[in-house]
Amino acid sequence: MSQNSADLPWKVRLFTSLFSFTFKVMIRRSDGSLNRLLLNFLDYKTSPSPDKPIDGVTTTDFTIDEDRSLWFRLYNPVFRTSTTDNEVKIPVIFYFHGSGFVCLAANSKLFDDLCYRLARLLPAVIISVNYRLAPEHRYPCQYEDGFDVIKFIDKSYLEVLPNHANLKHSFVAGDSAGGNLAHHMALKACKSELSNIKLTGVIAIQPFFGGEERTGSEIKLSRDPFVPMDTTDWMWRSFLPEGSNRDHQASNVFGPNSVDISELKFPAVLVIIGGLDPLQDWQKRYYEGLKKSGKEVYLVEYVNAFHSFHLFPCVPEFSLFIKEVKDFMQKQMSR
């Protein structure tokens, strides 16, 4: 990213510099632990707005399990004026936020702002899942939390979703670690019986995958401000079961310990990568693994996009990203 940082808006350059310094120096301790108290202090959280739409979208929080702080935020576009009988249905997206399984939340301002934009621009009803974090809660807690939300919606959708939400056009989506989660949610859905949800597609935004091998992009971009190699290694150590390595099936999904998905009815996948993202080689392998397994998959690459570019609407790739996601969704829903 540094080689093209001068081309970025100054706010983005400032944010990435501050994020990199704060995370490495103040939050991630030298012994490998996490300063959760400081992280929570610095992570600005937003409140829902159920009665007053913000940019045409209302938000409501629903708690599923207080003991494990499992909840989701529902983003509902309300700019439609259709009558009840002829109301146009819109898709539902189960969204999983990124940050390496270790930090931030569904109500962190960065992800709250993104979900507002997705709900308004696609448009779609967004269900943003707040899952437990590592290292306090390791694999498979995050996957269990995510799928428990999907099962809750499948069973109780009439109690929480607006009338214009179409569960027959449901998608799982996420960025970075959330993209990893989206893949594994689709995998779980393939092996489960959902009564009302029909999973139509997976939207993997710069998904966080890895392995023991060092790829060319990891080495070349090892000092990236968002996902440098030493930080991603630490994230995997914090998330994966103790004693396992990065070739675990959760991280290296087409590696030596992976699950064969060739016989599963896996939904179509959109993989979005950036040319300045250290994780791009693993993301390309994910795309290639899906193709070899006989799955419908599309790859979109933005040459000058850094990791987490989609969180910044001021970068030129953002509008292109929205169009690609919208086109993918419409293609899957038209079938």
- Which active-site residues does the annotation give? 176, 277, 307
169, 80, 129, 38 alpha-carbon torsion, rounded to 10°: 150
**Number of helices and strands in the chain (H, E):** 9, 8
Burial class (CB in 10 A: 0-12, 13-18, 19+), 324: middle
Nearest to 15 by CA among 312, 280, 327, 239: 312
The H or E element spanning position 1 is none
**Rounded Cα gap, residues 304 and 306, in angstroms:** 7
Check if the beta carbon of residue 93 is closer than 8 Å to that of residue 173.
yes
CA 227 → CA 72, 178, 232, 294, distances in Å? 26, 14, 6, 31
Cis peptide before 140 (omega within 30 of 0): yes
Strand partners, 268: 201
Check if the beta carbon of residue 317 is closer than 8 Å to that of residue 275.
no
Which one-letter amino acid corresponds to residue 312? F
**Rounded Cα gap, residues 29 and 35, in angstroms:** 7
Distance, first Cα to last Cα, the chain: 39
Nearest to 304 by CA among 6, 4, 17: 4
Nearest to 186 by CA among 128, 124, 248, 267: 267
